[in-house]
Structure 1
Amino acid sequence: MATVSTQPRKREAFGSRNVFILSAIGSALGLGNIWRFPYVAYEGGGGAFLIPYLCALLTAGIPLLFFDYAIGHRFRGSAPLAFRRMHRAAEPLGWWQVLICAIIAVYYAVIIAWAAMYTWFSARLAWGAGNEENFFFTDFLQMGDVSDSGVSTTFVPQVGIPLVVVWLVVIVIMVLGVRRGIGRVNSILMPLLTTMFVILVVQSLFLPGAMDGLNAFFTPNWEALADPGVWASAYGHVFFSLSIAFGIMVTYASYLKRKTDLTGSGLVVAFANSSFEILAGIGVFAALGFMAQAQSTDVAGVATSGIGLAFIAFPTIVSQATGGAIIGVLFFGALVFAGITSLISVLEVVVAALQDKLGWSRVRTTLTASIPLAIVSTGLFSTTTALAVLDTTDAFVNSFGIMAVALVAVIVVAWLLHKLPTLQAHLNERSSFGLGLLWKLLVAGLAPIVLGYLFITELIAKISEPYGGYPNWFLAVFGWGMVIALITLAILLSLLPWSGRSRAKDDPEYDEFLITEDYAPDPETTAVPVFDPANKGERS
């Protein structure tokens, strides 16, 4: 029988369903929506790509989003606690997701720091016309090559100082908790982000050549639909875009009140995320159309994604456009806001897991988890080899971390533990519309096939030739080494004992009676009733 602490800690909760939706959208809306989706869509057939994208969203993205919601809300815990409550042997899956988030947080923060500095650079066009690429790699990052002697320890102050500031801001938000920190910040930043990006898109549409960019973005290439790689790209993007298998949605759903509409909330989050991606595509390609016209080339000659789009192409646009400084401030400011809302969701997975496992206070757990991550982040990514470390770690963690844990989790939950009927019943009891056999077929059938295909494809690509041309020792440490460490540490963490003050780790109903809506309007100030497992009621 589970041991119940006589001094239970009440589980925090979002103040309302709307705050949860804004927080979930904030997690989903990250850098990839702005700098990755437009190029993926363009390369995948332009307007024709919307067909596989929509299919991926409806047949995999939304079903797996419901899958995460159901686990978090039904089993009332962080990722490790929720999976443990489902079955003790499943706990490593939760820690696998926690460790992925810890690694992502370490390098994600530095991109936010870059965007913050470029917001300031945009206001005064600090890079100089025609010098955008050299400014980013040489003047700003002071980038050096990875050698056989190891990674660099040379500190780059213009990166390190803003990176420390980013961590300080995020740690303060995390210390304030779910309601006063995460919920309140998302309630402010998400409307600001949307407003800024709408203004950016409108301004981009009036640039000379904008229509050429939009034609390139939306003109359908129907032949691309016959390419399996295009469909795989659509599914892969949707998995990452909706924050599936990160442990984020499991954790956030555990903070929801018992009667929250789960499926309705999931649809709002999914379609809001997709709408923003299409909006980003319009703004980005309108700006690229202007850039192509200014350089007397076609859009294909300037179209790019990722870091190249954000820190080279857009500064070039800012330098050439009338009122370019405003475009730059809006674009990089949007990157900062989108990055912060995503980073706090990633960190919350780590903090919630450790708080559940150790039984510590919110402040103590946050500082214990965040300060070491901030130190590692600053030490690794404020140096001249930071970009190489970031590139390699991101490539391997995404391919063999997120993709792999998603595949294993679906197989374990659906096929080994046979928990889909339980999750389906939980969703149907609390949602505006019910899920039937189709949902189970998509989660248990289609999802493993697609995830398996993506995983094997990436594995073959990484094995066939050294990624990025980096040295073997470098890939062994920051690539394959990270993959092995994720799995090994996940198993070891699951073997550690749970604190006596942890929430009845084997009783998923326990937190149902301690959630904020039932007993306390404010989790920070109201006393907690003591739970009596004999009658699932309270006693004084």
Structure 2
Amino acid sequence: MSSDELTGASEKKGFSTRKAFIFAAIGSAVGLGNIWRFPYVAYEGGGGAFVIPYLVALLFAGIPLLFLDYAMGHRYRGSAPLAFRRVSRYGEWFGWWQVLITVVIGIYYPAIIAWAIRYTGFSIDKAWGDDPEKFLFGSFLQAAKTPGPTFDVVPGVLVPMIIVWTITLGVLAMGVQGGIGRTAVIFIPVLVIAFGALVVVALTLPGATTGLNALFTPEWGALGDPSVWVSAFGQIFFSLSVGFGIMITYASYVGRKTDLTGSGSVVAFSNSGFELFAGIGVFAVLGFLATNTGQPVGEVVADGIGLAFVAFPAILNEAPAGVLLGLLFFGSLVVAGLTSLISVVEVGISAIRDKTGVGRVAGTMILGLPMAVVSCVLLGTTGGVFVLDTMDNFINSFGILFVAALSMLALAWVWKRLPGLAEHVNAHSSIKLLGWWRWLVALVVPAVLLVMLVLELRKNLAEPYEGYPAELLGVFGWGIVIAIPFLAMLLSLLPWQRGVDLEDPGSDQLDHADRTDEGSLR
């Protein structure tokens, strides 16, 4: 088969258009954190003044690292393990480290989506009653009295989790363009329209301007607080889905003449734009609650699970358009969560297919079914909320930060691949990667990540996370974080499928390394 035929086959079996690639990348980046974490972080970080550290973090850390992920996946034409293996025979374990992180995230993430599905229905009759917090942890989650895993199934959580996994694996089994690309092209506009409608309704509520003033009034003194800058970098880093294999995988599915930096800029600014959009909608609603209860906005602000499943239901009880707001808000959480979950699980599927040569459906089932079983067994129970909280904190605080920092330092200083990656990207991109990019990736971003890592380590060592039992933190927190690098080393020792070229394909030989959806590298 000629190189032209190979390129065509690869692109048809990957993302068939640049639009599909961009929508899929946006779908991965825009997740639950954009909706329920950014507004709180911005408010705590000085309101309007937070825009400064946020933009600095976006321009000098988030986008450069996004470009690095794109460059890795596109040049080395593979999943994270194969891309790093083509960089160096000693680099493969970095890729598996990233894969295993996505496996952990993929295990607990469906539970939150399942909760959002149920709460979409609860919005119709306000099933949470007058005490949303008691309802969440009592009637709905039936949370165990002692934090930790249990085997007591909660059908109201388990059933929607099974539905979430069925949808996710079905989309992934249909392939890159037919499943992931097509779903993203449909879901992202739906998400924007739904959340846009929520913002419009929220802005009509009494007290909406009070919430917006609280969010956007700048507190310039906050800029002198190092923790504000750290939180800005952390928000950008996590919300863009960089550093743990997703964007490497997606970039390996696009044609060789794709404008990577142009596409990356669209993804990055779309993600940040949606975060700002979410901030407006959420704080307009919080302003209504504050006005209605006679409290300052600072007293009703919450983030994460507390915002979505406690504060928001309390607001919906009082809001004149409560049912509509609930349907739009929780429906948006479901869509945003599904697009992110699909990208998370695809990282592992891509790695398995590269390593073993199995087909798309087989790879999806080999990884997806065990993940689904573990996910449902651990999270569809009365102890699920505690397991979820522990896994989420430790894998985000330590797993992602550590592997991202180490892999960047290795690429820059050990293997010295940044000049070659920049040259590769510059061949067909509108924004050129010059010396500024190399120094940011080699020094600035790893330094920021290591600072974040040290701060998180000090905080978690000073006192047990959330006061949870040592057994819970030891197994699902520290245990997972420590075990992942060692498991990654073991996976890197397994043999590759026959016929895979493990050498750097080089920019001029890119066509010969292009990928197909048939389970092999041609």
Band of TM-score, shorter chain: over 0.9
Q: 1:452 to 1:219 in 2, by over 3 A?
A: same
Q: Is the 8 A contact 1:146 1:388 kept in 2?
A: no
- What runs of 5+ residues in structure 2 fail to find an aligned partner? 1-8
Spell out structure 1 runs of 4+ moving beyond 6 A: none
Residues 37-436 of structure 1 mapped to structure 2, 5 A cutoff: 37-128=38-129, 130-146=130-146, 151-436=149-434
2:4 paired residue number: none
Q: 1:435 to 1:514 in 2, by over 3 A?
A: closer
Three-state SS of the structure 1 residue aligned to 2:288 is helix
Cα separation, 1, equivalents of 2:458 and 2:174: 44
Residue number among 505, 508, 522 corresponding to 2:505 in the alignment: 508
> How many pairs align?
511
2:23 paired residue number: 22
Quote how far apart the aligned CAs of 1:406 are: 0.7
| TM-score between the two structures when normalised by the length of structure 1 | 0.92
Cα separation, 2, equivalents of 1:295 and 1:505: 63
Quote how far apart the aligned CAs of 1:505 are: 2.6
- Structure 1 residues 144-179: Cα deviation after superposition (integer angstroms, max 9, x where no partner): 1336xx621100000000000100011100100101
| TM-score between the two structures when normalised by the length of structure 2 | 0.96
**Alignment RMSD:** 1.6
Q: 1:524 to 1:84 in 2, by over 3 A?
A: closer
Cα separation, 2, equivalents of 1:462 and 1:198: 38
Question: What is the identity, as a one-letter code, of the residue corresponding to 1:144?
Answer: A
Cα separation, 2, equivalents of 1:79 and 1:278: 31
Cα separation, 1, equivalents of 2:443 and 2:482: 27
Q: Is the 8 A contact 2:505 2:512 kept in 1?
A: no
Quote how far apart the aligned CAs of 1:512 are: 2.0
Cα separation, 1, equivalents of 2:52 and 2:10: 45
Cα separation, 2, equivalents of 1:155 and 1:69: 41
Question: What is the identity, as a one-letter code, of the residue corresponding to 1:328?
Answer: G
Q: 1:429 to 1:276 in 2, by over 3 A?
A: same
Q: 1:226 to 1:507 in 2, by over 3 A?
A: closer
Residues 417-496 of structure 1 mapped to structure 2, 5 A cutoff: 417-496=415-494
Quote how far apart the aligned CAs of 1:506 are: 2.5
Quote how far apart the aligned CAs of 1:507 are: 4.6
Cα separation, 1, equivalents of 2:210 and 2:330: 23
Q: Is the 8 A contact 1:10 1:514 kept in 2?
A: no
Three-state SS of the structure 1 residue aligned to 2:174 is helix
Quote how far apart the aligned CAs of 1:485 are: 1.2
Cα separation, 1, equivalents of 2:503 and 2:171: 30
2:5 paired residue number: none
Q: Is the 8 A contact 2:75 2:510 kept in 1?
A: no
Cα separation, 2, equivalents of 1:331 and 1:238: 22
- What runs of 5+ residues in structure 1 fail to find an aligned partner? 1-8, 517-522, 532-540
Q: Is the 8 A contact 2:77 2:514 kept in 1?
A: no
Cα separation, 2, equivalents of 1:93 and 1:139: 43
- Structure 1 residues 195-224: Cα deviation after superposition (integer angstroms, max 9, x where no partner): 001110010000000000000000000000
Cα separation, 1, equivalents of 2:384 and 2:16: 39
Q: Is the 8 A contact 1:410 1:444 kept in 2?
A: yes
Question: What is the identity, as a one-letter code, of the residue corresponding to 2:512?
Answer: F
